[in-house]
């Protein structure tokens, strides 16, 4: 076992200590989409519930979220959990709006935001959100890096804490790359690089240096057309179920999507383990490589999320380094 990774997993216990009643917990915004980094957080969160014997009375994705349905489940000791990740701020307004609705509607319940990275491109939007969040008396925010922690503690809630990502709860449940085997002269490197709104100039620079782009991938390159069809089906039927208040259909989609998420993670795992090294600008390309025991180098993203995470949590893992040009 890697002592650093084991320690990061154990740090998540502080979240468990804040849950008032382990049999009365609601969990919102699990990712019904195909960003595999979010699916790793999702799988880690569900593993966390299993390991700490936490009973979730209601699970809802953004597509299936209905504040009126939630009100039926709220009791005085109900703890509300909001999914972690890198979407706290104004880059993903629908998810932020959902969190704001929860904070506004349930002022007397404990609300826990699972480990997040925050980013606001507009300071005015940040201050408006901060005014709402800071008015809640029992709001607990977990930050994945010190910059986010300082922002949250200064503006959003005094009950703010530093914590590693929920995906670390998967450590010990995933296969490990055997790095003790004889290494071949030619190392096979996976270049796992962002293609979305968080990409920076680094991805372009790395690709310009490569003669062969066959080993350049992002999550979307591992996904299959059948994954996209299933996501569309689940998303569409979640919205229909929401419109007609069909809770049983939402619950069935919860189960089907979680199993599909695990299947996608297993496929990604096989691909990652087929390489000797990983160079990545995806935070969860880095975390996943660490969890699998694969030597890796991490590049920063457009607003410093990866660098902040590496410096805070993973820099002491002996097989990972920052990418240097």
pLDDT given for residue 302 in this prediction: 73
pLDDT given for residue 121 in this prediction: 92
Complete domains list, the chain, with CATH: 3-170 (3.40.50)
pLDDT given for residue 202 in this prediction: 85
Distances, alpha carbon 301 to alpha carbons 4, 193, 265, 325, in Å: 23, 10, 22, 15
User: Distance between CA 21 and CA 53 in Å, rounded?
Assistant: 11
| pLDDT tens per residue, range 43-59 | 999 999 999 999 999 99
pLDDT given for residue 201 in this prediction: 81
Strands 296-298, 320-322: pairing is: parallel
Lowest average pLDDT, out of 64-68, 100-104, 180-184, 225-229, goes to 180-184
| pLDDT tens per residue, range 56-91 | 999 999 999 999 999 999 999 999 999 999 899 998
The pTM of this model reads: 0.95
Mean pLDDT of 231-251: 98
Mean pLDDT of 144-151: 95
In this prediction, residue 291 has a pLDDT band, given cuts at 50, 70 and 90, of very high
Residue 292 has pLDDT above 60, yes or no: yes
* Residue position matching structure tokens 């997040």: 116
In this prediction, residue 210 has a pLDDT band, given cuts at 50, 70 and 90, of confident
pLDDT given for residue 21 in this prediction: 98
First to last CA, the chain: 31
């Amino acid at each position: 076992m890697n002592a650093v990774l084991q320690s990061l997993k154990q740090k998540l216990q502080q979240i468990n200590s804040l849950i008032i009643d382990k049999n009365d917990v609601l969990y919102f915004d699990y990712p019904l989409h195909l960003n595999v980094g979010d699916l790793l957080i999702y799988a880690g969160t569900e593993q966390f519930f299993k390991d700490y014997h936490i009973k979730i009375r209601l699970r809802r994705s953004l597509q299936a979220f209905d504040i009126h349905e939630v009100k039926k489940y709220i009791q005085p000791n109900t703890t509300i959990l909001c999914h972690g990740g890198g979407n706290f701020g104004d880059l993903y307004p629908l998810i932020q709006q959902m969190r704001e609705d929860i904070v506004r509607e349930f002022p007397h319940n404990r609300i826990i935001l699972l480990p997040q990275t925050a980013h606001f491109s507009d300071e005015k939007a940040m201050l408006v959100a901060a005014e709402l969040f800071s008015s809640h008396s029992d709001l607990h925010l977990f930050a994945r890096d010190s910059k986010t922690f300082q922002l949250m503690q200064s503006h959003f809630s005094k009950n703010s804490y530093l914590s590693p990502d929920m995906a670390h709860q998967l450590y010990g449940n995933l296969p490990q790359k055997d790095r003790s085997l004889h290494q071949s002269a030619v190392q096979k490197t996976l270049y796992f690089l962002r293609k979305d709104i968080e990409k920076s100039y680094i991805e372009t620079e790395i690709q310009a240096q490569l003669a062969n782009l066959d080993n350049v991938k992002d999550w979307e390159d591992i996904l299959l057309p059948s994954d996209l069809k299933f996501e569309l089906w689940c998303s569409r039927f979640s919205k229909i179920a929401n419109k007609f208040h069909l809770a049983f259909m939402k619950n069935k989609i919860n189960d089907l999507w979680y199993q599909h998420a695990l299947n996608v993670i297993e496929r990604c795992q096989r691909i990652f383990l087929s390489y000797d090294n990983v160079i990545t600008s995806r935070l969860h390309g880095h975390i996943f490589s660490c969890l699998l025991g694969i030597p890796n180098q991490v590049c920063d993203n457009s607003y410093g999320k990866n660098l902040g995470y590496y410096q805070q949590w993973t820099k002491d893992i002996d097989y990972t380094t920052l990418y240097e040009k």
